[in-house]
Homo-oligomer: A and B are copies of this chain.
């Protein structure tokens, strides 16, 4: 016999055991339900692509992290490291088969050979949704409303969608004569929340002098609410302009749609330096702000310039799946049961397999997840199985019950039991028990 191979996964990679995978599946289902209700359609792209196609735009850091190799046919291939680059390639390749505006979502794994010391994973699920092909407030708002609906549906309590507009900030820098330093200033401002106002101002002063630093701090420090902040920012940026009007329009729409409370203007948000060109946004949970943004994105002015001359402006967001799962767990909202099964048919009589199966089929048809313990064993063993799987109810049907025309339903936690003479009555009792357990 051969030696045993040690079963282990690569560093930065994870198995998902049932409870964790159910949690993830249920999160994805909630998100997908919202996407579908809002008119987003799913696509899928290959995990492996030509390295040239995936890495055309990537800079040093990204390229170093990509899993890249030579395949059997001598092709230089790479595993996708995000869902944006494949989406851009997809839009360019299928332009003639698609229509605009195109609203897609994509939930799939991506890989990055990152340093795992910071608790990062090398394999993780991304969840992106975008509206491509138009540059208008309606598309920006579509994404904002979808974020609002999705995060609301998670039941993770209150949250804020913090929004900003790169264009207004650029106009402001121009107005104060600092547009030549915008990259450095954005980089400093981006750290405001982490390093605090004093340190931010100190760094800004170092870069551009004390007066400019004070003006930038005035610009990026939120004050009395969306409209007054927008008025101050607009004024500092030299007066009303299409970008400030876009922000005003989005706020008005959020007010009419009933969620302007959740929409916060935050002039310190910058979200990366070279991709986004319009609105940018982040979403933080009130109950867990320290976890960071659980859904971020913004508007870009050209998705697929690497692959096509057709200009494709768009707006989109990415849900931070691992962060959200961690947040739900930290908030005690993660699921505890390790199966969806509601009832276990105990195996107490030889030759009853078909009867058990018929009973289970009827209960499943009524929407009650039911399983049958596969063989006749001691009841203690069958109960232990139910407990491990979080199954609360057991059904007993042996020769004695069959002769009396009944089935016994046993509440494994409450230790109570009752007899039913029809499957309909049994199903009704189980449906009720399920309802009360929630």
Contact = CB atoms under 8 A, between A and B. Distances in A.
Nearest to A375: B136
A39 interface: yes
A38 interface: yes
Contacts of A339: 39, 41
Contacts of A145: 357, 360-361
A134 B258 CA distance: 56
B67 A71 contact: yes
Interface string A350-378: 01011101101100100111111111000
A315 to B, nearest CB: 9
Interface string A54-78: 0010000000110101111101010
Interface of A, secondary structure class, is mixed
Contacts of A72: 64-65, 113
Given A16-B43, A25-B42, A353 B253 contact: yes
Given A48-B67, A370-B37, A22 B8 contact: no
A53 B5 contact: yes
A103 B42 CA distance: 29
Query: Interface extent on A, as a size class?
Result: 35 or more
B138 A372 contact: yes
B131 A101 contact: no
A9 B80 CA distance: 12
A438 interface: no
Contacts of A309: 4
Nearest to A100: B385
Interface in A202-223: none
Interface string A411-424: 00000000000000
Contacts of A50: 8, 10
Nearest to A304: B7
Interface of A: 2, 4-11, 13-18, 21-22, 24-25, 36-39, 41-50, 52-53, 56, 64-65, 67, 69-73, 75, 77, 79, 89-90, 92-94, 97-99, 101, 103-104, 109, 111, 113, 122-123, 131, 134, 136-139, 141-142, 145, 149, 249, 252-258, 304, 306-309, 338-341, 344, 347, 351, 353-355, 357-358, 360-361, 364, 367-375, 384-385, 388-389
Interface pairs A-B: 3 shortest CB-CB: A256-B354, A39-B371, A138-B374
11 contacts: A5-B306, A10-B48, A10-B49, A13-B49, A15-B94, A36-B369, A37-B369, A38-B364, A39-B389, A145-B360, A258-B361
